[in-house]
Chains A and B, each alone.
Chain A
Amino acid sequence: MAVEIFNPNPTIFTSSKPSKSLKPESIWVSDPFDIKDDADTFESDELIDQDEIFDLIRSINDPEHPNTLEELRVVSAPQITVSGNRIMVEFTPTVPHCGLSTLIGLSIRVRLLRALPSRFKVDITLKPGSHQSEIAVNRQLNDKERVAAALENPALVQTLEQTLANAMLRGQPAE
């Protein structure tokens, strides 16, 4: 983890209500449907739309602050496009020089890799104009070989797991 703090004073937004797909009684984290976050939860014909993808990634922790990507407006449903089996996720770092953008993008990729059926091809990019090294970061996040090699780096995986620790909460508050 970087010693330098990139954004000491991020703007924190309140989380929006959990999306309509959750049943009222699933407020409690102990509901098995909400804890399980692997591909088994999806029926093969289940419609996966931008709200569903947002639900999957909204509770990923920012690596630098004790907030989720939703709270920091790094990810939002309008920044996700689903077209057939292709998913495009745009994310907005809190500051244009954010050195942890690649890590954030990687955590989104890993979360979706684990949660979605294999048929989906996911492209993850920075919101245009939101980062000074936009092209370089986008290239790294979408190079399959670079991503695979990064995931064989134990130190990086450990950091990633911390960001993903509460990802299955899908927007609900942590205990």
Chain B
Amino acid sequence: MALSYTVQAIQQLPGHEDRAWHVCWNPTKPLLASCSADKSVRVYQYNDAANFSHLTTISTGHTKTVRSLAWAPSGKTLATASFDANIGIWEQEDGDWECASLLEGHETECKSVAYSSSGTLLASCSRDKTVWIWEVHPDSDFECLSVLMEHTQDVKCVSWHPTEEILASASYDDTIKMYLDDPSDDWFCFLTLTGHTSTVWSLAWSPEKSYLASASDDKTVRIWRRVAQHKWECALVLEGNERSVYSVTWGPGKAPSSSLGWVAAVGGDGFIRVWELSENEDSSLHHNLIAQLPNAHDVHDVNSAVWCPRQGFQDLLATTGDDGTTRIWRVESKIDHV
């Protein structure tokens, strides 16, 4: 079957001395950060021609793997989640990245951190089964607002809705949960999405805001549609992955504006797969596999994939893998090359 797009290798960024777990694009500056089992964070800069160069390595100070990272919406702060159970908050002081704050509290490995769209809230999650919500104050002061103990197993990923203060979490207990703040009381879980038959590793919200994608150890990617203000239902199950799917990302790509954009997924089978999604007239979802690349990181697992959020660069995809490299790809239409 001939696919209409190809995944072009743009650049390979080696440097981590152990597996690279996660990568994150800065939302306001041409920077990309990756984190690794080698306990460091590598920061790269890129120019308009998509040439990437290594800018600096933050040796953190975490005593174990740095598993995940998140840039604040301002682009000025970086949060790291570590297996040492702590969260590091990093800011630049005269060009050097320094630890502005260390958030302690989780009892076991911290797996994921995420800033809300306003930047005033930070969420974290852990193998201790909890999701923590922190309020971001000036001078890197953080106040824990809530400790949510709704999952029955490790929580692997947290992700905020692109505009609303709705938090989603993905777990080893096979479910996805969503949380809201009750102003008169506390944060609470208002929805549990079941359907996956194994650990849910990763979550990604659609750019047009109504859909959520989830990636699972059950080798599928599920797309959940918002059917009411506080209700989502499974609208589509994307198959084709041969092993665990570790990461899913959703961006506009270079898809027509009438579509829902591009979903990319990566995992243990080493493939990068890209689907274009759109809504049919009857509101059902149309999906089309537009690109596929085997052995993206040679024989190694691919742990993370993230679309570039920057205007004009939304066909760029960054991935990290067990080989310790970060790789940059562009999804290109075959038609352009005729």
Q: Which residues of A contact B (CB under 8 A)?
A: 85, 117-119, 121, 139, 142-146, 148-149, 152
CB within 8 Å for A144 and B301 given contacts A139-B199, A149-B109, A152-B83: yes
| Beyond A148-B19, A149-B83, 6 additional pairs, beta carbon < 8 A | A118-B299, A121-B268, A139-B172, A143-B199, A146-B127, A152-B64
**What are 16 of the A-B contact pairs (CB < 8 Å)?**
A118-B299, A118-B322, A119-B299, A121-B243, A121-B268, A143-B172, A145-B109, A145-B111, A146-B127, A146-B154, A148-B19, A148-B37, A148-B65, A149-B65, A149-B109, A149-B127
Q: Which residues of B contact A148 (CB under 8 A)?
A: 19, 37, 65, 83
Which residues of B sit under 8 angstroms from A145, Cβ to Cβ? 67, 109, 111, 156
What is the predominant secondary structure among interface residues of chain B facing chain A?
Answer: loop
In the complex, which residues of chain B have a beta carbon less than 8 angstroms from the beta carbon of A149? 64-65, 83, 108-109, 127
Instruction: Encode contact with A along B66-109: 1 for CB under 8 Å, 0 otherwise.
Output: 01000000000000000100000000000000000000000011
- What separation, in Å, do the CA atoms of A119 and B108 have in the docked complex? 31
Decide if B276 is an interface residue (CB 8 Å cutoff): no
Q: Which residues between 241 and 298 of chain B lie within 8 Å of chain A, taking CB atoms?
A: 243-244, 268
Q: Which residues of chain A have C-beta atoms less than 8 A from B198's C-beta? A: 139
B177: CB under 8 A from chain A? no
Taking CB atoms, residues of chain A closer than 8 Å to B83 are 148-149, 152
How far, in whole Å, are A142 and B198 apart by their CA atoms in the complex?
11
Q: Which residues of B contact A117 (CB under 8 A)?
A: 299
Please judge, given known A-B contacts A149-B65, A152-B83, whether A143 and B300 are in contact too, CB under 8 Å.
no
8 A Cβ contacts from B170-226 to A: 172, 198-199, 217
A148 to B172 CA separation, bound complex (whole angstroms): 15
Residue numbers in A under 8 Å from B67 (CB-CB): 145
The answer to whether A143 touches B127 (Cβ under 8 A) is no
The 3 closest A-B pairs by CB, nearest first: A119-B299, A152-B64, A149-B109
Considering the chains assembled together, what is the distance between the CA atoms of A23 and B111 in angstroms? 48
Task: From known contacts A148-B37, A149-B127, infer whether A85 and B299 are also in contact, taking CB-CB under 8 Å.
Answer: yes
Residues of A within 8 A of B37 (CB): 148
**Nearest Cβ on chain A to B126's Cβ, whole angstroms:** 11
User: With the chains together, A54 CA to B243 CA distance in Å?
Assistant: 24
Name which of A85, A117, A139, A148 has the most chain B CB atoms within 10 A of its CB: A148
With both beta carbons as reference points, the residue of chain B lying nearest to A118 in the complex is identified as B299
With a cutoff of 8 Å between Cβ atoms, the chain A residues found around residue B217 in the complex are 142-143
A85→B301 CA distance, assembly (Å): 13
A121 to B37, CA, bound (A): 19
CA distance A146 to B65 in the complex (A): 12
Query: Chain A contacts of B268 at CB under 8 A?
Result: 121, 144
Q: How far is B299's CA from A152's CA once the two chains are assembled, in angstroms?
A: 24
In the complex formed, the residue of A with least CB distance to B300 is A118
Chain B residue nearest to A143 (CB atoms) is B199
- In the complex, A117→B198 CA distance in Å? 28
Task: Report the Cα distance A145→B322, complex, angstroms.
Answer: 12
**Chain A minimum-CB-distance residue to B108:** A149
